[in-house]
Structure 1
Amino acid sequence: MTDDRIDSCDLLCLDLPHAEQIRRRLPSPASLEPAASAAKGLADPTRLNVAAALAAGDELCGCDLAWIVGQAQNLVSHHLRQLRAAGLATSRRDGRLVMYALTEQGRVLLGVLLGDDVNAAMEI
């Protein structure tokens, strides 16, 4: 049996009232875009690691983050830009340093993805 047969019905048996009820409760396509963008923002192991470090450190500069996660500073900067673009991190300049922190959405999403692992890191 092929995967196609497993994933599709052999008979059209639509429960229209139930299907319409569910359809009306779905989020609008416009509200799904930010959620998809946020999910993409953490769809990389290095970004997840950077975000976990931010969760543990509350606010960190890019050079400290690079040392903490054991990656090159330019790579970490790239991932920080991705986190900011997804609305999961913020940055602010402090003299010659740029300080990064997770947004509330970033903390919540990271907590959902990493569960107890990130909660333990945030208690440091």
Structure 2
Amino acid sequence: MAKDTCEVYCYDEEKVTSLQKTINEEEIKNTSGIFKVLADPTRLKVAYALSVEEELCVCDVANIIQASTATASHHLRLLKKQGLAKQRREGKLVFYSLDDEHVRQLIDIAFTHQREEKNNG
């Protein structure tokens, strides 16, 4: 049976060294935080809803995820803390939207990839 391991320590040391120099550990940590936040199905549902609609009130998000406004607020705050969403107040109402087009693209690409995998699998 074939092994899934290399028999050499480093096949292309030049590539490895070059890549090691370009990897910024702080960027890796911050970027992985984005995926951690979106890994929660409820937060991904919220982010998806915000990618479809320009802006949603906390109470509307609560209805979409079938949860309390406190729970919706919690998920929205986490998205905001990670830089994925932003908020604006209008009296007692709080409206959320995605922070920028890059976030919308990230969500769109993830869903497009998943749909393609489903159709190819």
User: TM-score per shorter chain, which class?
Assistant: 0.7 to 0.9
Task: Give RMSD over aligned pairs.
Answer: 2.2
RCO (CA 8 Å, sep 6+): is it higher in 1 or 2?
A: 1
Contact 1:59 1:101 in 2 (8 A): yes
- Equivalent residue runs for 1:36-115 within 5 Å: 36-104=32-100, 105-115=102-112
Gaps (5+ residues) in structure 2?
115-121
State, as a whole percentage, how many aligned pairs show the same letter.
Answer: 37
How many residues of Structure 1 are paired with residues of Structure 2 in the alignment? 112
TM-score by length of 2: 0.78
Unaligned runs of 5+ in 1: 118-124
- 1:17–1:93 Cα change, 3 Å: same
TM (norm. structure 1) is: 0.76
- Contact kept in structure 2, 1:87 and 1:106, CA below 8 Å: no
- Alpha-carbon spacing, 1:13–1:56, altered in 2? closer, same or farther (3 Å): closer
Q: 1:112, CA displacement in angstroms?
A: 2.2
Deviations 1:21-78 (A, max 9, x none): 3333x33112222211211121111001111111122111100111123222222111
